[in-house]
Amino acid sequence: MGLTPEVVSMLREVTPMAMAQLVPWQRSLLAISDRDDLRAFLLGLQISLPGSPPLLLARMSRDIPTRTPILAIDLGWPGRWLDLYRRRSWHEVDPVILAGAGRPIVWSDELAPQDGDSRRLRDFKSACKRAGMMHGLTYIADRDECRVIISMIGEAVEREAYTRQMLALLLPSLANVAARVLARDARMAKFTDREREVFDLLVWEGLTQKQVAKRLDISLSTVKIYLKNMRKLHGVKTLCQLAYRVAAVDGS
């Protein structure tokens, strides 16, 4: 996995220490293949940051009418705040979420009161202040059909220059990996539990259809029906095409 354009553009401003720390993190990203790996990586990142800040990974549709954030991984985010955020649909006015993709977004810069703020936006910023949600860092990446959001709470991630540099380099690549993993999960979610079992045995364990039927104690014709339904769902004709469409790491 190569460095993204965002990373390349930052290299001239980065200290050698930040670059040195980036290398093992980039290597760890290469090993991520599923949601469990992604969660383990985020836990490691969280522990390494000053104060072990609460961290959240979410995804949004790039289709504006359905842009409600979908929580993917939550590492210590305040539950009451998440509930309030959802109930008030604050993603519609949150200046952090609405900020441009491809750069680290400092919360305190976006949440400072402005003369032109609407009443709803003023209410949101006041709620942020009451809940202690005024300081943090967010990175947003637009990838294929979804928008990936990586956020962490705390003044340290805003103000410590070294931490900011390291995150500015790491988060674009992390967003790429997260987008691939979440997209694959979304494609798998279209299957029923039994279809997922059949898919896993055929693709990941390499069993034949007869072996799958024996393993699951179902008829061969039932396996064929499940496979036919999965192929139809994803608009492909063969098992190889289905495996590529659903399980490809690159999300193609």
CA distance 231 to 119: 50
Distance CA 119, CA 205 (A): 56
200-242 pLDDT tens trace:
888 878 889 999 999 999 999 999 999 999 898 888 889 888 8
- Amino acid at the residue 246: V
Within 10 angstroms of residue 10's Cβ, the number of other Cβ atoms is: 18
Phi-psi map region of 206: left, alpha, beta (phi>0 left; psi -120 to 50 alpha) = left
pTM over 0.85: no
What domains can you pick out in the chain, each with its CATH number?
A: 5-184 (3.30.450.80), 193-247 (1.10.10.10)
Those residues whose C-beta lies under 8 Å from the C-beta of residue 85, and which sit 6 or more positions away, are: 91, 94
pLDDT digits (tens, 9 = 90+) for 117-133: 999 999 999 999 999 99
Decide if 1 contacts 32 (C-beta within 8 A).
no
Task: Tell me what pLDDT residue 179 has.
Answer: 84
Residue 128 CA to residue 22 CA, distance in Å, equals 32
Query: Checking DSSP bridges between strand 104-106 and strand 136-143, what pairing results, if any?
Result: antiparallel
